[in-house]
Amino acid sequence: MVGRTGITDLVNKQTQKESVASPTETRQYFLQRAVRDFVPLRRDFVQQPRGAASRPGPLATFVGNRDLRGLHAYLFIVAITSKGFEDTGWSTTLNSGVWARALGTTEKANAASARAAVAKTLQRLQERRLITYERIKGTHDVRVTLLKEDGNGDPYTRPGLGNSDAYLKIPFSLWRSGLADDLGLPGLSTLLVASCERRRFELATERMEEWYGWSPDTAERGFRELAGHGVIQIEQTYKKAPASPSGTTRVNRYSLVKPYLHRRNTVKALTPGDTPDTPTAPETKEA
Ranges of the chain whose pLDDT falls below 70:
1-18, 84-88, 161-164, 262-287
Amino acid at site 236: Q
- The ranges assigned to domains in the chain are 21-265
pLDDT of the residue at 10: 46
Q: What three-state secondary structure class fits 146?
A: strand
The model's pTM is 0.82
pLDDT of the residue at 50: 81
How many CB atoms lie under 10 A from the CB of residue 253?
Answer: 17
Among 158, 168, 182, 172, CA closest to 32: 172
Sheet holding 232-240, edge to edge: 200-201, 248-256, 232-240
Q: What three-state secondary structure class fits 136?
A: coil
Q: What three-state secondary structure class fits 79?
A: helix
Over residues 203-214, the pLDDT tens digits come to: 888 889 999 999
3-state secondary structure 232-258: EEEEEEEEECCCCCCCEEEEEEEEECC
What are the residue ranges of helices labelled H in 19-58? Answer: 23-33
